[in-house]
Amino acid sequence: METIPLILLILFGSALLSYVIGKINFVLKVGVALAGILVSGYYFLQLYGQAQSYTFRLLGFDIIWRINPLSWFFGMLIFGLGILVAIFSTSYMKNKERVDFYCFALCMTIASMFGIVVSGDLLSFFFFWEIMTWASFLMVIYYRYEAQAAGIKYFVMSMIGAYSMLIAILMVYAQLGTFSFDALASGWSDFSVSFQIALFVLFAIGFGVKAAVMPLHTWAPDAYGMSPAPFSALFSGVLSKMGIYGFALLMFVFGAGKLAGSVTTIHGVALPSYILAWFGALTALIATLIAVMQDDAKKLLAYSSVGQLGYIILGFSLNSSMGTTAALFHAVNHTIFKGMLFLSIGAVFYRTGTRKLSEMGGLISNMPYTFFVVLLGIITMAGIPPLSGFVGKWLIYEALLEKQMVLLAVVAFMASTAAFLYCYRLIFTIFLGQRPPRFDDVKEVPWTQRAPMLLLSLLTIYLGFYPYGLLNLIGQAESTVMGLVPMNLSQSILFNDLGHVSTIAVMNTVGTVFVIVFVLFNTLYKRSRKVGLKDIHTSGEVPGPEINLHYATDFYQPFSRSIRYVLERSADRLYGQFANNLEGFFDVLRYVYTGNAQTYALFVIMFLAMLLMFTNWLI
């Protein structure tokens, strides 16, 4: 059997099977789901470097499923994180209710995402896109009661995005008579300019909702926050990447990048793309500012995720080889570090039962592994050398400077700096400071949860040290699928006209400094006394455990006052009001149905009379 349908069959099959068999016992349903994901992952790995395709006809439409370097690249993210999340879930979901439902939705989401990346035509792309929406919706509403609002918001916004995309897809179909990507790629330039721009906008709305570009992001914090922690990792790490995949398709496969030839350009970038770049940059900045003020760990990560996706969009919209490389590299980074952080927050929640940063503290000695993972995670997220986050951010700045977009670069840089604040907040409030007494007996999480997190940490170290394997893969995707000339690479140095950086040199420098500091610290302060976590003295007095010395509440008050202007304006509230007003309007309108038989009879007569008066309407 062909590999692509086989993988889809295994994944969808295991979704149904784990739900049906899952009624019997826990091991079986988790086992089926995990086995399904592992086996399909194994088959997927074998697709590397191959160019398979599988076509059939459905309802008179040609359906194409194919694999190419770009789809392999995104498929790799799906299965990489998918498998780790599934392993993490085995212990995380133990003794929880409705695990069969969880397994079903997990397998379904992974299957539909794989379907999206292997789709070679717009119809199956949309088909799997919709399945992905409802499958992840099921996950958002897993914790039933409080999740309703978040779930409906997510679903409705996704639907608006999907329908906007649908109109674009069908407009293409009306023009070309086929859904295939290839036909669109070759036919794009024949469209009129206004048609091209309309398609660009409609597709961008569709993908933008999933990628949570501001102002379409309002569902993301709630949905990420509400879904079970392992799934939040997948949600932010991979599912949102489907929007990014969409942008990659739009810009480089469908041909929106070619717009530059026909409309006004700014810095060599077509105006619509340039506007998109600003959307990306402002998303990065504003979401970061909001993330700093979050007290809910998951919401903090969610806003940070929105911000990081802004960078990726920014990279794509530059319409250059460098920008695309940067965007794709950062996408991988984001998958890795958001995976690490969401899983660690999940691990902390698993042990403490809270996600409120202000309630935690001092868990470093209880959960050292998790602490280590979060530490590496925030280093990557902040883009500090020597981990892989640095490479991604470096590339983005370089790409911006290459296009001489200084203003955008400044905004991106500001966002990156502000990100330090929430990174620090995350690690300090959870792991450092004073530990509340009720968490004294908290233990480290089981190995099934530690292993996925540690694996991801190893990956980010590896990519920081040696990003060239990945850059090569991106280069392949660019040259074969996206029609770009890949970036100039050598084995250890990234360079272009502006300058170069050697990651190995960076790694060595940082390593040396680390060793020196470590040695100095241990020799010079050898005689210092080890102090227990709660052995804190103030002015000679020993405060009791009831006195709070760990001010994790009201973090960053001055900062929050200074950005109040941004925080006060909430797109979410605006949409809420708009929806309410609209509903109020509908409510008035529905009194057309008065419930009065005479009125209804009058309607019939009026209808008849009107038609008789305007008969030439009908001829």
Partner 1 sequence: MYFDPVLMIALPLFAAFLIPLLGRVSKEIPKYVPVVMIGFNLYESIMMLPHSMVKPIIVIIAAWKPPLGINLTIGALGNVLALIISLVGFVVAIYNVRFVQKEPTEKYHMLYMLMVAGATGMVLTGDLFNLFVFLEITSISSYALTAFIRDRNGAEAAFKYLLIGSLSSTFVLLGIALIYGTTGTLNMADIAEKIQHVDSKITIVALILLVTGFGVESEMFPLNGWAPDAYSQAPTAIGAAFGGIVVKAGVYALARLIYTIFNFQGVFFFILIMGVITLLIAEMSAIRQKQLKRMLAFSSIGQMGLVLIALGLATVRGVEGGLFQMFNHAMIKPLLFLSAGYLVYYSGSKDISDLDGMGRKKPLLSFFFAFGAFAIMGLPPLSGFWSKFIIISETIRGGFVVVAALALFGSVIEAVYYLRVVGRLYFKQPNESEKTKYVHASAILAMSVLALVVLFAGLFPDMVMSYLKPAATELVDKTAYIKAVLTAGL
Q: Closer to partner 1 at the Cβ: 574 or 608?
A: 608
How far is Cα 111 from Cα 567, in angstroms, rounded to an integer?
38
| Residues making up the chain, counted from first to last | 619
DSSP letters for 454-495: HHHHHHHHHHHH-THHHHHHHHHHIIIII--PPPPB-SSEEE
How far is Cα 600 from Cα 603, in angstroms, rounded to an integer?
5
Q: How far is the CB of 606 from partner 1 (least distance, A)?
A: 7
Angle between helices 368-382 and 388-402 (to 10 degrees): 10
For partner 1, the binding residues (CB under 8 A) are 58-59, 123, 127-128, 130-131, 133-134, 141, 144-145, 147-148, 151-152, 155-156, 159-160, 163, 166-167, 170-171, 173-174, 583, 586-587, 589-590, 592-595, 597, 599-601, 603-608, 611-612, 615-619
Q: Closer to partner 1 at the Cβ: 149 or 410?
A: 149
Q: Closer to partner 1 at the Cβ: 90 or 218?
A: 218
Which amino acid is present at 198?
A
Q: Closer to partner 1 at the Cβ: 531 or 618?
A: 618
Q: How far is the CB of 58 from partner 1 (least distance, A)?
A: 6
Which amino acid is present at 542?
V
How far is Cα 99 from Cα 211, in angstroms, rounded to an integer?
28
Q: Closer to partner 1 at the Cβ: 558 or 595?
A: 595
**Tokens (6 digits) for 305:** 């995720």
Q: How far is the CB of 20 from partner 1 (least distance, A)?
A: 13
H or E element, residue 57: strand 53-58
Q: Closer to partner 1 at the Cβ: 1 or 174?
A: 174
Q: How far is the CB of 8 from partner 1 (least distance, A)?
A: 12
Q: Closer to partner 1 at the Cβ: 61 or 424?
A: 61
H or E element, residue 414: helix 406-431
Q: What angle do CA 410, 568, 289 make, to 5 degrees?
A: 35
3-state secondary structure at position 187: helix
Q: Closer to partner 1 at the Cβ: 112 or 294?
A: 112
DSSP 121: B
Q: How far is the CB of 571 from partner 1 (least distance, A)?
A: 18
Q: How far is the CB of 611 from partner 1 (least distance, A)?
A: 4
Q: How far is the CB of 45 from partner 1 (least distance, A)?
A: 27
Which amino acid is present at 555?
F
How far is Cα 24 from Cα 116, in angstroms, rounded to an integer?
32
Q: How far is the CB of 10 from partner 1 (least distance, A)?
A: 16
Q: Closer to partner 1 at the Cβ: 172 or 301?
A: 172
Residue 263 burial class via C-beta count within 10 angstroms: exposed 0-12, middle 13-18, buried 19 and up: middle
Closest alpha carbon to 78 in 39, 48, 37 = 37
**Tokens (6 digits) for 179:** 């859904």
Q: How far is the CB of 98 from partner 1 (least distance, A)?
A: 11
